[in-house]
Chain A
Amino acid sequence: KAGVTQTPRYLIKTRGQQVTLSCSPISGHRSVSWYQQTPGQGLQFLFEYFSETQRNKGNFPGRFSGRQFSNSRSEMNVSTLELGDSALYLCASSFFDEQFFGPGTRLTVL
């Protein structure tokens, strides 16, 4: 069974730009969650989507948004990038409680 895939794996952007990251969950999983991982803050929850609806949201500014499509694939968007947005962005898919993570997208903001 294929795991969670994320594209792209690496991104370099400049301040003020926007970025879209993509996540394809494990087949049959309808819940997709997004996390930001930084050396200082560790893993922090961004939001969760289930059946195309945002079910839960973490404490991040409105510049961070997401959506889920009918095939459960999900995208997250970050607008007006700031230097502090440099991080590893992880997507996790789940069927029940257990969440399985993808390899992440490494975003660097210059």
Chain B
Amino acid sequence: EDQVTQSPEALRLQEGESSSLNCSYTVSGLRGLFWYRQDPGKGPEFLFTLYSAGEEKEKERLKATLTKKESFLHITAPKPEDSATYLCAVQAETGANNLFFGTGTRLTVIP
């Protein structure tokens, strides 16, 4: 059965304090791993898609990496506006288009 585990559940950082969020996954053939950001009361906002082990993608202060069993979202010198819940999801090779989500990491960046 597909499974996605995100850690930590919550993370508090001082502004400028870099850190990483973890997403461990089990899926019967990975088609893609997705990172989203969700602000309270809003829908998830697409950040990255990773397809194969070793792949990396960057966007502003965020960098996502992928191995065969996990993905990391590195946040460099975060700002208060980076505060949000970060969601990881996997899509299996079965041909179905649905995403299987983890429960997210709630990030708070303190000025």
Contact = CB atoms under 8 A, between A and B. Distances in A.
A48 B98 contact: yes
Interface of B: 31-32, 34, 36, 41-46, 49, 87, 89, 91, 96-104
Nearest to B32: A97
B103 A42 contact: yes
10 contacts: A33-B97, A42-B101, A90-B43, A92-B43, A92-B99, A97-B91, A100-B46, A101-B36, A101-B44, A104-B42
Contact of B98 (A33, A90, A100, A103): A33
Contacts of B100: 45
A4 B42 CA distance: 12
Contact of B97 (A94, A101, A104): A94
Interface string A92-110: 1010011111111010000
